[in-house]
Amino acid sequence: MRAIVISAFGGPEVLTVTELPDPRPAEGEVLIRVKAFGLNHAETYMRSGAWGEVAQVTGIECAGVVRADPSGRLAEGTTVVAILGGMGRTRNGSYAELVTVPASNVVPVRSSLSWAELAAVPEVYATAWSALHGNLGLRPGETVLVRGATSSLGQAAVNLARDHGATVIATTRDPARAGLLREIGATEVLLDDGRLAAQVRARGIDVDAVLDIVGNKVLRDSLATVRPRGRVCQLGFLGGLEPVQDFAPLADLPSGVQLSFFGSAFVLGTADFPLGAVPFEAIYRKVADGTYRARPSRTFGFDEIVEAHRVMASGQALGKMVVTVD
């Protein structure tokens, strides 16, 4: 099979198309013929070496068809999406024509969407849905601030939260992207200068929950942005992986504010965080009817992977990018 391998840790140019032996599924695994895969910032960390030793083939999600399922649960030819389950970290991932995935991380889907459109959804929507409903327990009528909303994950969160009946405040560092965020459901857009708490107070806004995709760089400010007894969930690191220096709960964690973390790469598909809890059928239906703006912002061919990673690193994707394999 053709596969894209990390030839050495470094920039986009280290991604190389090569031939590898076809994988074979073990018990508890599903062999998938990959039709398209989404691009995720996690894969830039794997490619660069920021996450240490990882699998030779990166990629944490895909859409495709079942080639073999030793358990018999999924018939050959079934349309599926697959996410995580160690893909790209502890086992070869989805940047390939074939991939084996733990059965717990494979979901059959019925949709008329194209392969590229199917591949644009799984990781970001499963992650955003789990954080909004699991960690934050977001309720209709509440106000949620999505920090880092122009990312594909942020846009998914805005779509989901607005559809759930919440008031959504979205943030961006680029004023040119404010219109996009309003189009997908944000009631208000704030320019993130690192001091959102002051902006929220000046506007007299009570923020019930913060979904922080920027990460450690702004954690203290996110904690100060939410109302007393509000909730903050961190689930991304757009601002980098550097730890929070000298974090002290006594000084930095407001009394009554709940702080949680959701690391989808490590838990989705496990017994405690089953993919069956994520309403994929409903999500795909709402993508198809236009309720969610989730179609790919850009689609690349398999041999264009280096350029795709360059665009992702530039921060100019303006949404979810995907790669088609055929």
Q: Is 217 exposed, middle or buried (0-12, 13-18, 19+ CB in 10 A)?
A: middle
For residue 215, tell me if it sits in a domain. Answer: yes
Whether 116 and 141 map to the same domain: the answer is no
Q: What is the pLDDT of residue 304?
A: 98
Whether 226 and 131 map to the same domain: the answer is yes
φ/ψ bin of 318: left (φ > 0), alpha (ψ from -120 to 50), beta (otherwise): left
Q: What is the pLDDT of residue 51?
A: 87
Whether 144 and 257 map to the same domain: the answer is yes
Phi, psi of 304 (to 5 degrees): -105, 20
Whether 190 and 84 map to the same domain: the answer is no
Whether 184 and 313 map to the same domain: the answer is no
Whether 72 and 167 map to the same domain: the answer is no
pLDDT digits (tens, 9 = 90+) for 129-139: 999 999 999 99
Whether 186 and 238 map to the same domain: the answer is yes
For residue 287, tell me if it sits in a domain. Answer: no
Whether 185 and 158 map to the same domain: the answer is yes
Phi, psi of 127 (to 5 degrees): -70, -50
Q: What is the pLDDT of residue 242?
A: 87
User: In Å, how far are 12, 15, 65, 67 from 22, measured between CA atoms?
Assistant: 25, 19, 15, 11
Whether 259 and 129 map to the same domain: the answer is yes
pLDDT digits (tens, 9 = 90+) for 29-72: 999 999 999 999 899 999 999 989 999 999 999 999 999 999 99
For residue 280, tell me if it sits in a domain. Answer: no
d(CA 219, CA 249): 12
For residue 311, tell me if it sits in a domain. Answer: yes
d(CA 205, CA 167): 11
For residue 228, tell me if it sits in a domain. Answer: yes
Whether 23 and 81 map to the same domain: the answer is yes
The whole-chain average pLDDT of the chain stands at 95
Whether 87 and 133 map to the same domain: the answer is no
d(CA 304, CA 285): 30
**Residue whose token pair is 């059928």:** 281
For residue 289, tell me if it sits in a domain. Answer: no
pLDDT < 50: residue spans in the chain: none
Final residue before a domain boundary, out of 245, 265, 285: 265
Final residue before a domain boundary, out of 214, 244, 265: 265
Domain count, the chain: 2
For residue 237, tell me if it sits in a domain. Answer: yes
For residue 75, tell me if it sits in a domain. Answer: yes
Q: What is the pLDDT of residue 236?
A: 86
- Provide the residue range defining the domain that includes 213: 124-265
- Whichever domain contains 234, its CATH number is 3.40.50.720
Helices (H), 49-194: 115-119, 122-130, 152-163, 178-183
Final residue before a domain boundary, out of 227, 243, 265: 265
Whether 149 and 249 map to the same domain: the answer is yes
Tokens of 138: 């977001």
- Whichever domain contains 66, its CATH number is 3.90.180.10
In 10 A of CB 95, how many CB atoms?
Answer: 30
